[in-house]
Structure 1
Amino acid sequence: MLIRDATPADAAAIAAIYNDAVAHTTAVWNDTPVDADDRRAWMQARMAQGYPVLVAEAGGQVLGYASFGDWRAFAGYRHTVEHSVYVHPGARGQGVGRALLLALIARARAAGKHVMVAAVEAGNTPSIALHESLGFVRTGLMPQVGAKFGRWLDLAFLQLRLDDRAAP
């Protein structure tokens, strides 16, 4: 498996993975599928801000993708990023998410970020376990802040301190 920077040619595969999450999971709290043009625009916006979009690839197939961006849009939060990782349904449980998240953590450290935040649907125990196995700690729970598939969803927050700086 190769972890690499995404290119515009990956947009259709990224859209397909995202759309599967929209249709079948609570990993993304959106009900609207996207197309390749939407994902190309999203990738361009992320990259224009200096943030990575990574893909995991094997045998010419995109198995998953990941990115991070601003956690909040205020200057005081500039040292903190929030990430997302999505894996093709046929590749889940095979280490793709772990490899992508490890690569994102390395990129965030290289960019001088201090904290990486994960916002995970509280019932997504595999994602929470993955994050905790990489050193993320649970920092909060927001009950019933989302809705999908006719039910309320709780949002769990986890964070990873990326460095030991005493001050920014």
Structure 2
Amino acid sequence: MPTRTATPDDLAAIAEIYAHYVRTSVATFELDPPDTAEWRRRFDAIAESGLPFVVTERDGSLAGYAYCAPWKTRPAYASTVEDSVYVSPAVAGQGCGTELLRELLVACGSAGVREVIAVIADTGDPASVALHHRFGFTDAGRLTRVGYKHGRFVDTFLLQHSLA
């Protein structure tokens, strides 16, 4: 499955994939799906920071995306990022997440990233945590009841991966 650097032409499909998770799950704590213009702002900010944003395709359609954003804005955190990986529900369980996270970590290394943090909502589905564990992420903590969405409080798992 081809994985490549994201382009602005991918943003409508990225917005569609993400909107599914915003509307139907607690995988993200966002309450309203960002539109393509907001995705363009986010895409540009990631590009300006020199961090990776990758996509993968299946049968000629965008099947998922992954990117890193700065973990915190203070300069001392400059080599630490937070990853995000989202796969179209139509291809979940078909290896897209694995390919995306593999490419993302390689690109992070090339970008001078030392630490990658994953903040994963406790959705009840272990797939995202398991994906990160397969790539060497280790448990760094749990934040309890930090999000409220769809009528319930949600915990997050913190995982960390060192590239240096």
For 2:2 and 2:100, the matched residues in 1 are separated by 10
For 1:52 and 1:116, the matched residues in 2 are separated by 12
For 1:38 and 1:76, the matched residues in 2 are separated by 27
- 1:121 maps to what in 2? 121
- 2:5 maps to what in 1? 5
For 2:83 and 2:6, the matched residues in 1 are separated by 15
- 2:141 maps to what in 1? 140
TM-score normalised to the size of structure 2? 0.95
Identity of aligned residues (%): 39
The DSSP-based 3-state class of the residue aligned with 1:33 is: coil
- 1:159 maps to what in 2? 160
For 1:25 and 1:124, the matched residues in 2 are separated by 11
Q: CA deviation at 1:79?
A: 1.5
For 2:140 and 2:9, the matched residues in 1 are separated by 37
The DSSP-based 3-state class of the residue aligned with 1:13 is: helix
The DSSP-based 3-state class of the residue aligned with 1:82 is: strand
For 2:17 and 2:70, the matched residues in 1 are separated by 22
For 1:108 and 1:157, the matched residues in 2 are separated by 18
- 1:91 maps to what in 2? 91
Deviation beyond 3 Å, 4+ runs, structure 1: none
Which segment drifts farther, 31-40 or 92-101?
31-40
Q: CA deviation at 1:44?
A: 1.2
Aligned letter for 2:82? E
Count of aligned positions: 163
For 2:94 and 2:25, the matched residues in 1 are separated by 18
Aligned letter for 2:49? Q
For 1:159 and 1:4, the matched residues in 2 are separated by 24
- 1:20 maps to what in 2? 20
For 1:132 and 1:55, the matched residues in 2 are separated by 21
